[in-house]
């Protein structure tokens, strides 16, 4: 995790500039998320500079905005105008929240950059209510065009911590293999394909 934190600490001030290239994809992403978080208590993991939280906060009742990088959270706090946002530095593998604390958990563009993403999913399952929703949009780099592969190569040279390289289908399969039911998905066009995944815990079948 230290590798992850150091990279994002160094790049916190440039992050918003980088994400502007994918503004259209993210506008669509906000549209997909807002109805899901309406009047809900939300936890966002690996929130970066808080772009998603700030764009959906009017719909939600409260959002815990967290990231492992202190510099990212410092950037996220800047220009915050909503009392419904609470910011903190958190490790997604070891969260301080009680079981079944949140209606919705958002983890965007993070599962592919951390080692052992299945452990992060297990911790998310713990803090999410039984009828809660996991929203996990992720860049699926293995589906890159040639220009996308070139960008990915230079990101790797810059130290970008890419641990998993999935196509969209492989990513959705990974979520299912880790105990999630994908109720909605979409591929949004950006610098890299962005696979939106909206998941729930599978219902426990009663004994026959």
pLDDT (0 to 100) of residue 150: 46
The runs of H, that is alpha helices, within the chain are 2-19, 23-37, 51-56, 70-77, 117-127, 146-157, 168-177
Rg (CA), the chain: 16
Does the pTM of the predicted model rise above 0.85? no
pLDDT (0 to 100) of residue 159: 46
Mean per-residue pLDDT, 85-111: 97
**Does residue 145 register a pLDDT over 60?**
no
Let me know how many helices (H) and strands (E) the chain has, helices first: 7, 8
What values do phi and psi take at 58, rounded to 5? -60, -30
């Amino acid at each position: 995790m230290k590798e992850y934190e150091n990279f994002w600490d160094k790049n916190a001030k440039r992050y918003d500039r980088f994400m502007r290239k994918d503004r259209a994809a993210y506008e669509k992403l906000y549209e997909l998320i807002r109805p899901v978080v309406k009047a809900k208590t939300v936890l966002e993991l690996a929130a970066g500079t808080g772009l998603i939280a700030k764009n959906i906060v009017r719909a939600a009742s409260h959002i815990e905005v967290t990231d492992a990088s202190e510099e990212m959270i410092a950037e996220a706090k800047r220009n915050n105008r909503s009392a419904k946002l609470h910011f903190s530095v958190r490790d997604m593998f070891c969260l301080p929240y009680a079981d079944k604390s949140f209606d919705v958990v958002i983890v965007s563009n993070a599962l592919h950059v951390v080692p052992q993403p299945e452990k992060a999913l297990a911790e998310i399952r713990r803090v999410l209510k039984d009828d809660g929703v996991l929203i996990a949009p992720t860049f699926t780099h293995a589906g890159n065009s040639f220009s996308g592969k070139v960008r990915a190569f230079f990101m790797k040279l810059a130290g970008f911590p890419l641990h998993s390289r999935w196509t969209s289908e492989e990513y959705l399969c990974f979520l299912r293999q880790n105990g999630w039911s994908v109720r909605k998905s979409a591929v949004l066009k950006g610098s890299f394909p962005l696979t939106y995944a909206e998941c729930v815990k599978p219902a426990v079948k009663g004994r026959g």
